[in-house]
Structure 1
Amino acid sequence: MTADAADGAVRIRVVDHGPGIPEQNRDRVFMPFQRLGDRQTTDGVGLGLALSRRLVEAMPE
């Protein structure tokens, strides 16, 4: 991940080389409590992406 500032804005770049999310699960992954087959049942409850999406949607344009 890299970040830089220019013209009063911050730009964040994230590069992901993971296996990705199957197309049929791309909407579902943002729903609360979704783990989508995650094998570790003790880490997290599946709220991170749901909260992140709602925070971004709440930001003014």
Structure 2
Amino acid sequence: MVMIAPKGPGTSTEGNVYGCTDTDGDGWADSIDIFPQMMEPNGRIPMGMDTVTITPTRM
């Protein structure tokens, strides 16, 4: 399923969410980006933090 941003034009291109706000410019929409202020190509773990365990209580 593909989502189109309801809040207007943006730059997201990843995760089947297109045209939504992407604050860090990594292609992942802020709405599905765990770290919307930090560019990370895979949308999940910021570069250099790939050995850190991420849990909801550590966010």
What is the TM-score with the length of structure 2 in the denominator?
Answer: 0.20
Instruction: Point out the structure with the larger strand share.
Output: 1
Q: Please tell me whether Structure 1 or Structure 2 has the larger radius of gyration of its CA atoms.
A: 1
Between structures 1 and 2, the one with greater helix share: 1
TM normalised by structure 1 equals 0.20
